[in-house]
């Protein structure tokens, strides 16, 4: 088949939401070419080996496996990151958390930032890339996730990021930060969404957090003040229907300037607050 015919065939087979984009990504990877090549060489033919590879990937995708796991990478905040079933696939909505962090991190200061539950390292690497003066640390309870995050950091020349193997704060060396950011698990354990989309393929420990999905968030917000400097910020991603509950937790602990930002679908998505113990 020609590239044009193959692209049409793949688009017709794939889930309709992003079929054309996924078809192009699969074809680009099988051929080792970019999108411009696909569009400028529609009559070029694919080899039997390439067709076999595409069929293998298509079978996996039609079984529900996320494209990011099939190809082994995804894009986040303009960065290409390796991913595997050991880590959550970074979402576009999480880029809003990075936006909020960058708005608050001075460009010329050695601002101390901690990313909790770093997974692939997406948040930490994006912050370090755009705020090179910042001193970025990241932790995760999964050794496999930390290994992937470290590989991604090295790939983007961010070897200065400090990585810690820790279940939240449990094994983190005593220190203070100017900002803590986190995209923790926030789905309720019986939420029907867990059986939909790519979620059945993703690590359950990065998704589920108690009966209503707030266990990890409540723990982080409650304990964060022990690790925050005066006037430091805490920024948390959460579920679309959890904004009010998360703000209540922030306020109950004594954070000031508590606010929730909405995502691209106009849903509550991240909440932030400033720690000022003189007013707590």
104 domain residue, yes or no: yes
Q: Which among 43, 130, 37 has a CA at the least distance from the CA of 78?
A: 130
Domain enclosing residue 129, as ranges: 88-279
The pLDDT score that the predictor gives to residue 194 is 82
The pLDDT score that the predictor gives to residue 73 is 96
- Does 179 lie in the same domain as 40? no
- Does 167 lie in the same domain as 131? yes
Phi and psi, residue 212, nearest 5°: -120, 10
- The CATH number that applies at residue 36 is 1.10.8.10
Cα separation, 245 vs 251, whole angstroms: 10
If you search the block for the tokens 């909020």, which residue do you land on? 100
**pLDDT per residue as tens digits for the range 109-148:** 999 999 999 999 999 999 999 999 999 999 999 999 999 9
218 domain residue, yes or no: yes
**What is the tally of structural domains in the chain?**
2
Average pLDDT on 134-163 reads 97
144 domain residue, yes or no: yes
Q: Is the pLDDT confidence value at 21 over 80? A: yes
Upper half-sphere CA count for residue 108 (Cβ side, 13 Å): 0
- Does 101 lie in the same domain as 49? no
DSSP assignment of 85-129: TTSPPPPGGGHHHHHHHHHHS-TTS--EEEEES-TTTHHHHHHHH
- Does 270 lie in the same domain as 131? yes
- Does 185 lie in the same domain as 50? no
Phi and psi, residue 144, nearest 5°: -65, -40
Cα separation, 76 vs 278, whole angstroms: 38
Please, which pLDDT band fits residue 197 given cuts at 50, 70 and 90? confident
246 domain residue, yes or no: yes
268: tokens are 């509550």
Average pLDDT on 154-183 reads 97
- Does 228 lie in the same domain as 174? yes
- For the ranges 45-59, 169-183, 190-204, 247-261, the lowest mean pLDDT is seen at 190-204
- Does 216 lie in the same domain as 172? yes
- Does 111 lie in the same domain as 47? no
The pLDDT score that the predictor gives to residue 114 is 98
Please, which pLDDT band fits residue 280 given cuts at 50, 70 and 90? low
Four-CA torsion 104, 107, 111, 114, nearest 10 degrees: 60
DSSP assignment of 123-151: HHHHHHHH-TTSEEEEEES-HHHHHHHHH
- Does 43 lie in the same domain as 115? no
- Does 137 lie in the same domain as 50? no
Residues in the chain: 280
């Amino acid at each position: 088949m020609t590239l044009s015919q193959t692209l049409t065939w793949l688009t017709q087979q794939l889930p309709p939401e992003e079929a054309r984009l996924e078809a192009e990504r699969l074809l680009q990877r099988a051929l080792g070419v970019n999108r411009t090549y696909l569009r400028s060489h529609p009559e070029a033919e694919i080899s039997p080996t390439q067709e076999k590879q595409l069929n293998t990937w298509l079978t996996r995708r039609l079984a529900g496996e996320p494209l990011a796991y099939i190809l082994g990478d995804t894009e986040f905040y303009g960065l290409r990151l390796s991913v595997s079933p050991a880590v959550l696939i970074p979402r576009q909505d999480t880029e809003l958390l990075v936006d909020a962090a960058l708005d608050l991190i001075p460009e010329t200061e050695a601002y101390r930032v901690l990313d909790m539950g770093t997974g692939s390292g997406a948040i930490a690497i994006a912050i370090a890339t755009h705020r090179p003066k910042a001193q970025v640390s990241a932790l995760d309870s999964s050794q496999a996730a930390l290994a992937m995050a470290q590989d991604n950091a090295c790939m983007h020349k961010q070897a200065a990021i400090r990585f810690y193997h820790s279940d939240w704060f449990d094994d983190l060396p005593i220190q203070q930060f100017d900002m803590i950011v986190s995209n923790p698990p926030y789905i309720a354990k019986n939420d029907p969404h867990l059986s939909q989309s790519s979620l059945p393929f993703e690590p359950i420990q990065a998704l589920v957090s108690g009966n209503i999905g707030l266990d990890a968030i409540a723990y982080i917000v409650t304990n964060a003040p022990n690790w925050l400097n005066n006037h430091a910020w805490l920024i948390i991603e959460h579920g679309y229907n959890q904004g009010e509950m998360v703000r209540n937790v922030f306020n109950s602990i004594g954070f000031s300037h508590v606010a929730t930002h909405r995502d691209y679908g106009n849903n509550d998505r991240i909440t932030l607050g400033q720690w000022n113990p003189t007013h707590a």
